[in-house]
Structure 1
Amino acid sequence: MNAASPLPADTPPAWGRVRASRRIADRILKVSATLFSLISVVVLFWILGMLLVQGGTSLSLDVFTKITPGPGSEGGGLVNAIAGSLVLTLLGIAVATPVGVLAGTYLVEYGRGSILAAVIGFLNDVLLSAPSILIGLFVYTLVVQPMGTYSGWAGAIALAIIALPVIVRTTADMLGLVPSTLREAGAALGAPTSLVTQRVTWRAAKAGIVTGILLALARIAGETAPLLFTALNNNFWFSPSLMGGVSNLPVTIFQFASAPYENWRQLAWAGALIITVTILLISIVARYALRKDIVR
């Protein structure tokens, strides 16, 4: 009987020819995967529900217009902490973006297959999984101690180091998806590699690269540990020079949540809700951009 011949009429369906033990194992795996997925979804929505209830009742106009209150005082808000977090996060992503995009470009366009590119890729993967508190200690030793004071600049450097491997990896992955025929077409027209990279590959992968930047932004928006060793915190407006403690939302939430004052705990819930919603929106935008790039 050749491959094109139909099976005999009495041949059982494909699933019926599978041994009973394999069918049982398959069903057990399906039930286990479904059960644990449901558990994770329930836990996630439980946490989000608590955050919405506690944080939603704590939100008010004062949260966005008044500075953080002192110990034991009533009222107050988080405007100085929100502003400080915006400054630190934007500075960190501004430092990490050009370095990360250029490093990812080197890995794909210039150093492909070289020993240096392999070493950079390995170190980037190590840095990607490094605990953020170690990065905070590293920047504390490298920047804070020599300067003799905490500063927003040290905090921005720590956040930039955390964001850097995310941008490098995403940039390299997105450029790797660009068909080589586009590069060959540019080279056939006599364009140098630098011009082909700028005019062809970057344009083809721009949505994916922007997605990586947005993911890195979401990654560092809620970081607390590195800021404890670098920017620290204060209950007032930070100095324009960013020297000394700089108020920021993650550290404020950490301090207020562990304090014995009810007012501080309510503000901590409000701050946690603000960070969560911000990261959620950034993630949605990043996923939409990535999906749009893949569809194209």
Structure 2
Amino acid sequence: MLNRRTLLAASLATGLTACSRSAPPEGLLRVATTNLPDSLDPARGEFASAALAYKQLHAGLTEYAPDGSVAPGLAESWTFREDGRLWYFHLRDGLTWSDGHPLTAEDIVWSARRLVDPAQSFARLGDFFAIENARAVLAGGMPSEAMGVSALNERSVEFRLTDPLGLLPVLMREFYPFPRHVIERHSADWVRPENMVTAGAYTLTGESQLHLSMTRNPAYYDAARVAIPAIRLDAVQDAATRVRLFRAGDYDLADQPPANQIGFLRDRLGERFRSFDAPILRYLKLNHARAPLASA
């Protein structure tokens, strides 16, 4: 769900919020950010700035809690067996895509396979590095169906791992399932505003090289708590320009002010200047194929 706190957290930087001098159109949150996503398809996007839009348009299997921990997302609960080699995610009842099409465990399975399959996306292991056969699928040595993920029923998904991984629910905060029924119909054009179907808090209503327009998705599982009806996200690359436009009242929120102006802006803007701890996960991937860890 988008609000000013989650927008700032998603930008991974210090930001500014304010009540602008000139009133915006009713119900519209105007946001100035550094860059727009290079693709609205999470299987193809490479820019770090894409995270801001993804969190509004797409829904993760799990989500960020207010304190930065893990909270339910599309999955209402999860369990594990065999010391973390088998994980089970249980979807909420009655999930649908924004077009009303049911969202089921089969969508989760198909989406996980798509992310790793070089025939379907800009394939990468990413957070699926520990999933059984994922490396072989990525290398083209196995079909995507061999990947260790399967639907047990309409609401339960099993992930089979080669090694225990307690962080899997944390990683699933950035795993956004895809609408298979739309992608198979429109291919790469599924992210165009007239075609795009999402599971997140917002749907895409307009797109250009400089802005994205989004409106509240009534089919979102937590739609009752989405307080902002519409968002316009504009790319304003220069940090000083973002600050000037914000101070002039043209934006309600602007991220990443110039580092050398932070003290000045904090003094001038008072409570309108906000900074937040950004949720950043860092971890090491150990190579057990080489000594001295080969026998570990």
TM-score normalised by the chain length of structure 1? 0.28
Higher strand share: 2
TM-score normalised by the chain length of structure 2? 0.28
Higher helix share: 1
